[in-house]
Every structure is written in structure tokens, then in C-alpha cells.
Amino acid sequence: MKNLKKILVCKFALLMMLTLLGTASFTAHAQVDEIRIADSKGDWGYPNAYRHYPRGPGYVRMSWVYDTLIWKDEKGYIPALAKSWTYDPKLLSFIFELNQGIKWHDGKAFSSSDVVFTVEYFKKHPYGWVPMGDVSGAKAVGPNKVIIKLNRPYAPFLAYVGGVMPILPKHIWQNINDPKKCNDSKCFIGTGPYKFIDFNKAKGTYLYEAFNNYYQGKPKAKRLIYIKAGKPLMTLSTGKADLANIKPDMANALKKKGMIILKNARGWNKKLMINHRIAPFSSKRFRQALACAINQQEIIDKAHRGFGYPASFGLLSPDHEFYNPDTPTYIPNPAKAMEILESLGYKKDAKGFYIKDSQPLKVQILSSNITVAGDSVADRDGEVIKQQFEAVGIRVDLVNLEQATTDAKVKKWDFNLAISGHGGLLGDARILNRMINPKATGSVNSARFGANKKLLKLLKEQVSEMDVEKRRAIVYKIQEIYADEVPAISLYYPASMAAYNPKKGIKWYYTHGGIGLGIPISQNKMSLIK
């Protein structure tokens, strides 16, 4: 009888253990109904390569729908559509072995022909985020292997092509001749973890639905929703959103309410764009005078309550692996600024402002509520910079515009000075080419500076140098020359933070090196997969 009781007890214990294990397994893979992400701008365009707004949040919204050959998580590169990849220096080619059994959202099979088609399509219809100038073409070797051939050695290939290029379905896009005008739902079919359902431009809301046949596993949420919300503290506290960027002074209050606080590395910078095509900004000495007149820490203290870090004048973030700690800097020095101006022939008038040839020295600064990593931030930087310039004798006309209007004026060179900003400062060092080279027309934040031929030569060399340490030495020199020329002035790195509610079992994080090209936003799609 005792033995029978022991057997029954053991069987019961075993049954309970199996039940618990089964429950745990089900809980780990069960989908929550929805995840809601908030930002204060809302509208970032339609989520495909040709319809999203050309800033980081637009790319992120697209990334839920379209997968790339490789991707990044919080530690670095990981497989995506490709399960492995190698570089053959003799063939000047990257070889990708593709995962099998992948489906498009419409049920069609994905294959190497889609990758080859995408390369050819982007070469014919340029997509600003994926520079194809160094890619000569692609070849399929069976259904699961692709060879992408280069024109020359290209160090940023994985960062700027393999890890950023959204792969398009050939069976759809081969019939689309004007990709920027395609409004059909078929133009939003990808292989990503979520299917695009709806975008309300007026409300700034997005709706995605889980693609349960996703090759990396069923997504953790049935629906993904973006909402426009100007008050992240209230939005998170009331449960209207599960994740949002926050201002640093909100962190303690949200932490007390059970939220997880994420702090990002310095991957985004506010900068002063300079129209160096026109006088007096075409003079390097004049630009250096502006740099000496600017007090970065004062901008941080007065406009952002001390939350932020002075930026490197060499553009790359101090958190970048190729950052040059010996990059020249400009210590705030009004006397030095005035000394330079006077050496250029400027003289003070009776009111203490500079004139030259009877003409007053007056500059116009375009300012706007700039979007920092997805959120519109009230901008007082222009007011502080105006005070700093006027303190050294430069009259300032401060003009407040919508960000899109400022971007358009900068792109057309219709400005003197403009306050702008961008991320990408944690990704591959090719960001220097994107933000300096005069041919880099894809970004409204590029200085497009071509006056220093040595700088242009080094920019060309750094992207073709496959040896890491040799490339580092070149990138160090680029930072030194850029800081000396100051074709644009990096002002500061804002304290970038996000908060999320852990109750739904999702772990959000800032991606190592930033999402894609280096986007400093804590919305990596892998958070809803693994």
C-alpha cells in the first residue's frame, strides 16, 4: 500500500511538472494582443523604401515590414535573410547563404532571385539609405545563394548594404516603374515579422499585424501600433503606450511607476549647418570664429537643463570605435572670435556690432522644433546661439520654421546658418562621407563640403580600406581635418533615453551601433522576436 502511495505521489508530481513545463512553454511563446509605441511627431511616411521620410524613425517603421540580408541586435550583427556570409577578396565579392523556407507576406516563396532583383532595382531607382555606387551587380547561384560583386574594395558594405538594404519581392516590384508613387497595398509586402495594415497620416498612427509564418518565429505581439503622443510621461503612466522616448528629467518618476529606463550612447548630434558656398561663410577663418563664439555647455545648460554632452568638432561620437581623442576642439573664447573677425577686416560700429565696407555683419539662423530620435523637441538652441554671436558683435536674425521647411531650404542652399541634427554616429565610419562629401545629396544634414581636396581623398580611401587598423588611421585624420575646416559645427549630443513597461514581457534595448546605418532608437524588431 505504501509503495502504491509512493507511485501515485510520483506520478502526480511528474504530471504537475509536465503541466508547469507546458504552461511555461506556452507562456513564453504566447502572443500578447498588442504593443503600442508612442512618439510626438507621428507622421514618418509610408513604410517602404520609397515612401518613408528620410530620417531614422521612417526607416525603423519600414524595418518591421522588410527584412535585410543581415541585421543587428544589442551585441552586433546577426543573421536575417542570410544565415551566413563571407568576403572573397579575389572575386571582390560578398557571398550570402540564404535561409530556406522563407515566405513573403502574400505567401509566395522568397529566393535568391529577389535579392538579385533588389540590387538591380536600387541601382536603377536609387534609395538614399543604400548607396550602390560601389556595387557592380549580383548573381544567384541556385535558389539559396547570392554573390554580390563590388567595383572595388568597400569596407562599409555590410553596414550600408547587407545590413540596411530592404529586400523587395521581384514578383511585385518588377512591374512598378515609378516606386515613389505606388500606393497599392502590394507595395508593402515584405518578409519581415509584421504586415503593414494602415497609416493615418493626419493622426500619425500606424497599424501592423503579426506575420505568424515569419521564418524566425511567431512575433510576440499580434498587433504593433504607433500612436502620436506629446506627453510620454502620461502616456506611459496610463498604459496608453508600452514604449516611448522620454526626457531625462522624467526617468525617476517613471522608474517609481515600474518602468524600465534605457540610456543610449551618444549617437545623435545637434549641429549648426553652414552655407559655406557664400561669403563670409566660405572663409575657413570666419567659420572658426563662429566656432570660438559658441559655448556648447551653455547651450546644454540653458536650453536643456544640463542634460547632454558637448559634441566633438570631428563629428564622430566619442562612443564610436574610430573616434579620435586628439581631434582639434574650440574652447569657448569670445576674445579669440573677435580677434579672427578683426583680422578679416571687420570693425565695430558705435553699437558694438561688426561692419565691413560699410555693410553690417548680419547672419540669419533657421531654427525649428527639431526631431530627436523620433520625438519633436522644443528648440531654444537658436536663442542661446543668437546671444552668443551677438556677444561678439555679430547681428543675428533668428527665423523659426517647421523642420521640413528648414530641411528643404538647406537642401537648396537657401540659407546662411541652420540648426539641424542627425543620428548615425555609432554606425560605420562611412557616416563621415554621408555628412561631408559634396556628392552626398541623400541627407539634408550633409555639409556637402568639397573645398579641401585632401579631405575628399581621405574620405574615398577610408571606404576602400579593408584593413581595420589602417582604416582607423585614415578616419582619425579625417576628423582632424574636418574639425579644422568646420564646414558644419556639431553642438552637443542630447541625453537620449527611453522607457518601457515590462509587464508584457518584452525587453527593449538600444542596438549596438544603432539600427541600420546607426539609428539611435530603442525599437529593434528583434525585441518582438527573440
Mean pLDDT by 10 residues, the chain (530 residues): 39 36 42 95 94 92 98 95 97 97 98 98 95 95 97 96 98 96 94 97 96 97 95 88 93 94 93 97 98 98 93 96 97 98 97 95 90 62 97 97 91 96 91 91 86 97 96 98 98 94 96 91 96
Specify the number of domains making up the chain: 3
In a domain, 179, yes or no: no
Residues 295 and 391 in one domain: yes
**44, three cell numbers:** 514618418
d(CA 522, CA 222): 20
Phi, psi of 158 (to 5 degrees): -65, -40
Residue 181 in any domain: the answer is no
Residue 280 lies in a domain: yes
Q: Which CATH number goes with the domain that contains 118?
A: 3.90.76.10
Is 198 among the domain residues?
yes
pLDDT of residue 17: 38
Q: Which CATH number belongs to the domain containing residue 44 in this structure?
A: 3.40.190.10
**Best CA proximity match to 449, nearest among 481, 414, 419, 408:** 481
State the pLDDT at residue 5.
39
3 part of a folded domain = no
The cell numbers describing 131, all together, are 548607396
Same domain for 410 and 530, yes or no, is: no
Measured CA to CA, the distance from residue 102 to residue 81 in angstroms comes to: 8
Letter for the amino acid at 471?
R
- Tell whether 149 and 205 lie within a shared domain: no
470 & 517 share domain: no
Distance from chain centroid for Cα 9: 58
252 within a domain of the structure (yes/no): yes
Same domain, 341 and 478: yes
What's the rounded Cα separation, in Å, for the pair 462 and 473?
A: 9
| Domain of 433, in residue numbers | 269-494
User: The domain spanning residue 452 has which CATH number?
Assistant: 3.10.105.10
Q: Are residues 241 and 305 in the same domain?
A: no
**Among 514, 484, 510, which Cα is nearest to 499's?**
510
213 with 336, same domain: the answer is no
**CA 503 to chain CA mean position, Å:** 28
DSSP codes, 194-229: EEEEEEETTTTEEEEEE-TT-TT---SEEEEEEEE-
C-alpha cell recorded at residue 361: 555683419
What is d(CA 180, CA 196) in angstroms, rounded to the nearest whole number?
A: 17
Q: Both 483 and 502 in a single domain?
A: no
Residues 6+ apart with CB under 8 A from 50: 125, 127, 179, 180, 182
Evaluate whether residue 184 is within a structural domain: no
330 and 443 share one domain: yes
* Confidence (pLDDT) at 109: 98
Q: What is the pLDDT of residue 312?
A: 98
Asked if residue 414 and residue 442 are part of one domain, the reply reads yes
Q: Reading across the β-sheet that carries 145-150, which strands appear in turn?
A: 82-88, 93-98, 145-150, 135-140
* 391 and 526 assigned to the same domain: no
C-alpha distances (whole Å) from 438 to each of 215, 267, 491 are: 41, 23, 21
Residue 351 lies in a domain: yes
Contact predicate 346/357, CB 8 Å: no
At 240, give phi and psi (nearest 5°).
-75, -20
pLDDT of residue 468: 96
Please give the pLDDT value at position 375: 56
- Let me know whether 488 and 500 are in one domain: no
> Which residues fall within 8 angstroms of residue 211, CB to CB, at 6 or more apart?
105, 192, 193, 194, 195, 219
pLDDT, residue 378, reads 64
Task: Decide if 373 contacts 268 (C-beta within 8 A).
Answer: yes
CA-CA distance, 194 to 183, in Å (whole number)? Answer: 18
pLDDT the model gives residue 239? 92
